[in-house]
Structures are given as C-alpha cells and as structure tokens.
Structure 1
Amino acid sequence: MPTRRRGVYLNLYVVLDLYSRFIVAWMVSHKENAALAQQLFQEAVDRYGIPHGALTLHQDRGSPMIARSYLDLMGELGVTCSHSRPRVSNDNPFSESQFKTSKYQPDYPGRFESIVHARQWYSAYVDWYNLLHHHSGLAGFTPEQVFTGRYREIAEVRQRALDDSFEAHPERFLRGRPKVALPPDSVSINPVQPDDDDPAPYSVVNFPTLSAAGATATKSTLIFNDLSESG
C-alpha cells in the first residue's frame, strides 16, 4: 500500500475464506515478516475456534509465508499449507480479485497519508465488502450471508416472491417458473480432473504444493495473501 512518501510502502495482510469470500482477518503493518503473519493467523484460528487438522491454507510465496518459523506454527495448528507456484499469477485468483476490488473503489486513495489512514480506510472497506457487497461469484449474495449461512433464508424469501409473481403473471416468464440462483456447492483452486475410467465426480482439491503436515481432506479452506507494491 503506497504512501505519499516516495519509496515508503505499507503491507496489507488478508485472510479470506475461500467458499464465502468473507475476510476473516486482516492487518496493516510497516513491515512484512513471518512474526506478524504468525500473529495474525494464530489470532484468526483462536477467534474462529478452528479445530486441529480441519483447515487448508492456500497462500502466495511471500517471504513470511515460506519462513520456517511460520510453517512450524502451521504444523502445530494442524494446518495444511499450500503455496502458489513460482511466477504463476493465477494460482491465488480469489485473493487477487479481492485486492482488485479494493483498488477499484471510488474512494480508494491511491496513496495513503499514514498507517492510521490506511487502517481506517481498509476497515471501512472490509465492512462494505463483507456486509454490503453483493458478490457476482456468490449469485448476488454478500460474503457475510454465505459465511454465516443466512443466504438460505434470504433465498427462500426471494423464491416465494418469484413464485407469487409467476402465479400472478405466468405469461411474463418465457422460460417457465423462475428459480433463485444460489452460490456454488463447492469452490476450489486447480481442481483435480476426473479420470476417464472413473465415472464418479471429482471432489478433491489439487493445490500446487503442500508444505506442512496435515490431512489432505479438509473441512474448510482459507487463502492468505499479502499486498506490497514494493515488490
């Protein structure tokens, strides 16, 4: 995150839930190091009560995310770590998309006055993104609605409204009874393609690399990225 001082940048750490796109934790700091990444992720695990061995963490190859001390902590937490391949920009598309969304906000400063300014702006952005942003990848639901499961109740209300409209004016619906669009059943990065000889649909996520001990079949996945325009 560039500041108004030439050559001075701030670092933004973001932990994003893969399925709902919900930002579960974030931090703005002067530095980019493994200790801060450990602090952020440890607090996120504690806050959400993540059980041991239940999580896969996909992240870029920034120096904090490949540091031995950081990977040791992930191993202690039972987190399976996955890293993007070197020099492959689309191995973490959900996180990169979120960063693009933030930079394309009408009030994005471009350059920040101070770290306080950066934290204030991003805090307001996270509130909007999580609670008010009707995400196209989530069938128009917000990340918070999908993260908490509230989208099911909202979808039922929408479906009743569509049913009432269809019963009142069926001639308006050329394709028949309308149905509310829902978020996808599953979300993955680089999914394994099914074998031609295997008729069963695939359900295993193939991450580029696994660099910490943990179960390959997990209940949830987070993606973690840091944003630093200093390279």
Structure 2
Amino acid sequence: MGGKGRRHDQGIRQQVTSLVEDAVVRGARLEAACQVLGVSARTLQRWQKHPTEDSRRGPKTAPPHQLTQLEKDEIVRLVNQPAYRNLSPEQAVAKLAGEGIYICSERSLRRVLAERQLDRYRQRSKPAKGHNKPRQYVAHEPLRVLSWDITYMRSSTVRGGFFYLYVFLDIWSRRIVGAEVHESQQADIAANLLDKLCAEHELETEKLVVHSDNGAPMKGATMLATMQSLGITASFSRPNVSDDNAFAESLFRHLKYAPSYPRQGFAALDDARAWVARFVEWYNHEHLHAAIALVTPDDRHHGRDIAILEKRRDTYALAKDRNPRRWTGAQRAWRRPNVVTLNPDRLILSSPKTAASAA
C-alpha cells in the first residue's frame, strides 16, 4: 500500500475499508487485518471517518531553485557531446566536475534525460532484467504439486567431500515421496528418481506440477526431457531466491538439525543412505507436523487425519464440559488445512478508476 505520505484514491480506500471490516466481522483483530493489507490501523480509522478523496493537493508554486528550460537544454547539449555521451550520469557528472564544470546532481541529470527520452539502454550487451515471481500453484489433494531439491551431506573421511541427497516432497501432505543419496549431482539421477516415483505412486502426470530451484541438475536436458515426456508441468524458482522453494528448504533444515544427524559427517555412502532411510520413515510416520494440524504426513496423505482431528475436538469438548471455568474463550478448533499454496500471489489492489482507464 505504500509508505508514509503516499496518496490513495477513493476506490483504493473503499476496497481496503471493506476488506478489513469483513475480516473483523469474521473474527480477525483490526491491527492484524490492517497489517496484512499494509496499512496502519490509525490510517484506516481516518479513512472511515473521512471517506472522501485525499484533500491534500501538493505545492501550488514551483520551487525557486528548480532547473530552468535553458539550463536543461544546456545539460542535454553537454552530455550528448562525444566526450560524455557514452558515460553514465554518475560518470558524466564526475568527469565534468573534474574539468571545473558543474551542471546538476546525478539524480537531476537522470530526471532531465528521462523527460527527453534519452535514458535508453545503449550498450551492445542486453540490459539486466528482473525475474518475475514463480506462478502460484494450489494443491487441494495429495500428489498434485511436488517440491524437490538436492542438499549436500558431509563426508567424514574425505576432506571437502560430500554425498548428495535428492528429495521429492508432496506439499499438500508434507510427505517425502522420494529420497535417494548419491555421490554426485546429475540430472540423470534426478530424472530416474522422478520416473521411479511416478510409477510407484501411479501419478497422473498430466495433472502434476514439479517445482525446483534453478540448479544445473534441475534444468539439465535429461530432467527436462523426462518431465516433458511424462506431461509434467515444470516450475522453477527465481535465481538465488531460496524462499521460492520454501517447502524443500524447510525440510532440509529440519533434517540437518535432527538430534541424530552426525555433525562430523558420514563415513561412507551406505551410512548416509541408511540414516536417510531412518529419517524418512520417522518423518513420514511419526513426526507431528505443525503446518498440517500436528498430524503425521502419512496420516494426512491417506486421509486418516480427519478422524484424528475429530477425536481431538471431542476430547477438548469433554474437557471443557468438565471444567468450563478454565475456558475463557472457544475451544481449539483443530482445523484441517484443505488447501496448500506454492508461492502464493501477493494481494494487489487497484482502484476502479485505474482499471477503467487501463481498459
């Protein structure tokens, strides 16, 4: 929504006010709802009290020290001379200052060039471009969206040596559906593991999304060809943005900070494989995962969590009936998360005026 002093038209104010009021009616706190939308509670209260347009109109007079039209023309003439036309605004200002000439600040020079449409990229190389956030994918059932990655496991016998753990995780149930340890990172190994788990779980590959980061094994020709032949939708993180593959990264942190994880590393490949097998068995069948209402990934994967959560609700209801004075509010709901989203989109509000003008 912007920082302090930013103006918002009446359409944006009405949308934000309506969303917050609806959230409060459903039980949310005012401050929490405002924080989600990026606006302070005091600002919202002011909008509710004065729902009209922003009354601020800005300065009515031009600053007396602003650049005149003649000065702007002279600046453009100078920076377009052969000695300066291939320099950045910062370099041009510095070089002119070294020659005893002051024209304006770097920021002012950039504004003048933008006004004259002279700030275009002119080098032979391609300009740097930002990477858009990966597309949002929503899982309503198991084995629809998988997150996978590779992490290193230190060798205790070879200095600087590592084993590599390949993991495929179902984001809906948090169940590890495939895990193997190898001595190298290769797209062929990942492709074989993906092909194997698709056959083992009888996956509907045309409806499957597989997300990973931008590493070489993830974008290797063999891996991409395997996903294409199976009809799998590939999804990739932005470069150097680990949050885009948060499910796999969170699992790796849990794995490496497990009490039984050997700090000095593994003596041999078989030792690493044996430890990973025990961890996967524990994680899938014993670990009560906080993100899925404290049930095991295997229980959620097979639907047993519905009965488990119902029994917990009954237990809490009986406890409240036995001693209601200890319960100042509603009992714990033990809700089952029915939807899990990979890289959820941010909430973007647009005013009706802006949308209409864009159309």
User: Shorter-chain-normalised TM-score: which range?
Assistant: 0.7 to 0.9
Q: Is the 8 A contact 1:137 1:183 kept in 2?
A: no
From 163, 187, 198, the counterpart of 2:340: 187
C-alpha displacement at 1:107, in angstroms?
A: 1.4
Q: Which residue of 1 aligns with 2:328?
A: 174
More helix by share: 2
Q: Which runs of 5+ in 1 are unaligned?
A: 199-231
- RMSD of aligned C-alpha atoms? 1.6
Which structure is richer in relative contact order (CA contacts within 8 A, separation 6 or more)? Answer: 1
* Deviations 1:51-103 (CA, angstroms, capped at 9, x unpaired): 13110001112211101221111011111001111111211111111111011
Amino acid at match of 1:125: F
Q: Which residue of 1 aligns with 2:171?
A: 18
Q: Which residue of 2 aligns with 1:206?
A: none
Larger radius of gyration: 2
User: Which runs of structure 1 show a deviation greater than 3 angstroms over 4 or more consecutive aligned residues?
Assistant: 193-198
Identical aligned pairs, as a percentage?
35
SS in 1 for 2:206: coil
Amino acid at match of 2:205: H
Q: Report the Cα distance in structure 2 between the residues aligned to 1:118 and 1:157, rounded to whole angstroms.
A: 38
From 173, 176, 184, the counterpart of 1:31: 184
Superposition map of 1:1-231 within 5 A: 1-4=153-156, 5-110=158-263, 111-176=265-330, 178-193=331-346, 196=349
SS in 2 for 1:27: strand
Q: Report the Cα distance in structure 1 between the residues aligned to 2:336 and 2:229, rounded to whole angstroms.
A: 33
C-alpha displacement at 1:192, in angstroms?
A: 2.4
Q: Report the Cα distance in structure 2 between the residues aligned to 1:182 and 1:95, rounded to whole angstroms.
A: 24
SS in 2 for 1:70: helix
SS in 1 for 2:218: helix
The TM-score normalised by the length of structure 2 is 0.53
Q: Which runs of 5+ in 2 are unaligned?
A: 1-152, 352-359
Q: Report the Cα distance in structure 1 between the residues aligned to 2:328 and 2:296, rounded to whole angstroms.
A: 29
SS in 2 for 1:82: strand
Q: Report the Cα distance in structure 2 between the residues aligned to 1:82 and 1:45, rounded to whole angstroms.
A: 17
Q: Report the Cα distance in structure 2 between the residues aligned to 1:99 and 1:163, rounded to whole angstroms.
A: 37
Q: Report the Cα distance in structure 2 between the residues aligned to 1:137 and 1:20, rounded to whole angstroms.
A: 9
* Deviations 1:103-148 (CA, angstroms, capped at 9, x unpaired): 1111111210100100111111111111111111122111111111
SS in 1 for 2:178: strand
Q: Report the Cα distance in structure 2 between the residues aligned to 1:88 and 1:175, rounded to whole angstroms.
A: 41
Query: More displaced, 160-169 or 103-112?
Result: 160-169
